[in-house]
Amino acid sequence: AYILERRLFDKSLAIEAARAGADIRVNTYANGLIRAQKQIKGVQVRSNGKDYRILADVVVGADGVESKIGRMAGIDTKLRPQDIDICAQYLMCGLDGDIDEHQSGFYLGGEVAPGGYAWVFPKGNGCANIGLGIRGNVSREGHRAADYLKRFVQRNFSMGSVITEMYGAVPVSGPLYDAVAEGLILVGDAARHVDPSTGGGILYAIQAGIIAGEVIAEAKEENDFSKSNLLKYEKRWKQSFGKELKKKMKITNFIQSLSDEELNAIAYSLPSEIEIVLFY
Ligand SMILES: Cc1cc2nc3c(=O)[nH]c(=O)nc-3n(C[C@H](O)[C@H](O)[C@H](O)COP(=O)(O)OP(=O)(O)OC[C@H]3O[C@@H](n4cnc5c(N)ncnc54)[C@H](O)[C@@H]3O)c2cc1C
């Protein structure tokens, strides 16, 4: 796996986009779609207290989980609690000796992270991202992702210091709808392009973004921004990583069906270079 410095990574993508000619607008929130008959023709935005209209042949909704842009376009992006992983993550430092700098850690089980898993991703110099995700339908008072993470860290990494905290949600239902409308394409979490077994969506967001760009460039040449033409995007992302997502959905459903004892038994049958540590 690759460990990213996410803020720097996103910033570097924005810099590359600007260099390639993109007009980047910060502090700008899209709060409506512009339509001409059924065709989407742009977005209404609020930027630094002022309202603007931005016209576009195609709007790309990259607005994350339960995409509001998608919903405005008539796509039902709302998730059921069991289709969401609620995540909590700390950046911790002062972990020298507590973590292996060259090994990622994954922790499964009902005590650690019911319906999900906990992770330890080393970041170098005794620091690591330590986090977990739990299924939305098991989250309740005293058993929220933040509570599980606090307990996990207290038991296993109490010598470290929390530098930053981060909370969020990831769609883990797999893609259930066409992420396309008349003049609109959804990418990333908005399209539910997320590996349900890990909650990882960065790679798919980038792959789908590239495919969306190619399809929109072709649509521009053809001067056809209809849904039926943009559906090429659906076909191509499915060719690219659709099978992989389906396979991972099956693996996830299988893992979800296992008891903690069965998970331990599987872990012990893994190759010996994978280190197994029981925490509870
Ligand atoms: C704690 C946590 C840890 C994770 N760890 C990993 C990991 O290790 N590896 C991995 O691959 N994935 C990980 N993920 C998942 C990953 O973050 C997402 O899959 C990925 O960020 C999806 O990218 P995106 O661009 O689709 O959406 P996002 O990254 O959610 O970006 C959406 C953006 O749209 C903006 N936005 C929303 N609405 C509007 C609007 N109306 N107008 C303007 N802007 C708007 C938001 O502010 C946000 O900046 C993690 C998620 C969480 C919560």
Task: Tell me how many domains the chain contains.
Answer: 2
Q: Which atom of ligand 1 is nearest the CA belonging to 29?
A: 42
* 72/181 same-domain check: yes
Q: Is the CB of 199 under 6 A from ligand 1?
A: yes
Provide the domain limits for residue 52.
26-78+177-249
Find the 202 Cα to ligand 1 centroid distance in Å. 8
* Mutation to probe ligand 1, out of 34, 63, 123, 166 (largest number of atoms < 8 A from CB): 63
* Mutation to probe ligand 1, out of 10, 85, 87, 202 (largest number of atoms < 8 A from CB): 202
* 113/150 same-domain check: yes
Find the 184 Cα to ligand 1 centroid distance in Å. 19
CATH number of the domain enclosing 60: 3.50.50.60
* 155/87 same-domain check: yes
Contact assessment for residue 47 and residue 172, using Cβ atoms and an 8 Å cutoff: no
* 166/87 same-domain check: yes
Residue 145 to residues 137, 191, 249: CA-CA distances in angstroms? 12, 24, 22
Give pLDDT, residue 279. Answer: 62
Is 257 contained in some domain?
A: no
Q: What angle do CA 190, 195, 199 make, to 5 degrees?
A: 80
Where does the chain have alpha helices with state H? 6-19, 68-72, 145-156, 202-222, 227-230, 232-237, 243-256, 260-268
* 92/226 same-domain check: no
Q: Which atom of ligand 1 is nearest the CA belonging to 89?
A: 1
* 96/150 same-domain check: yes
Q: Which atom of ligand 1 is nearest the CA belonging to 194?
A: 19
Q: Which atom of ligand 1 is nearest the CA belonging to 202?
A: 11
Give pLDDT, residue 181. Answer: 98
* 149/201 same-domain check: no
Given a cut of 50, the residues of the chain with pLDDT beneath it are none
Is 203 contained in some domain?
A: yes
Q: Is the CB of 171 under 6 A from ligand 1?
A: no
* Bridge partners, residue 186, by sequence: 61
* 90/227 same-domain check: no
Give pLDDT, residue 189. Answer: 97
Give pLDDT, residue 20. Answer: 96
**What tokens were used for 243?**
């099978």
* Mutation to probe ligand 1, out of 46, 77, 170 (largest number of atoms < 8 A from CB): 170
Is 277 contained in some domain?
A: no
* 54/189 same-domain check: yes
Find the 88 Cα to ligand 1 centroid distance in Å. 13
Give pLDDT, residue 18. Answer: 98
ipTM of the complex model: 0.98
Give pLDDT, residue 1. Answer: 75
Is 95 contained in some domain?
A: yes
CATH number of the domain enclosing 149: 3.30.9.10
Q: Is the CB of 179 under 6 A from ligand 1?
A: no
Question: How far apart, in whole angstroms, are the C-alpha atoms of residue 171 and residue 11?
Answer: 24
* 221/96 same-domain check: no
Give pLDDT, residue 272. Answer: 72
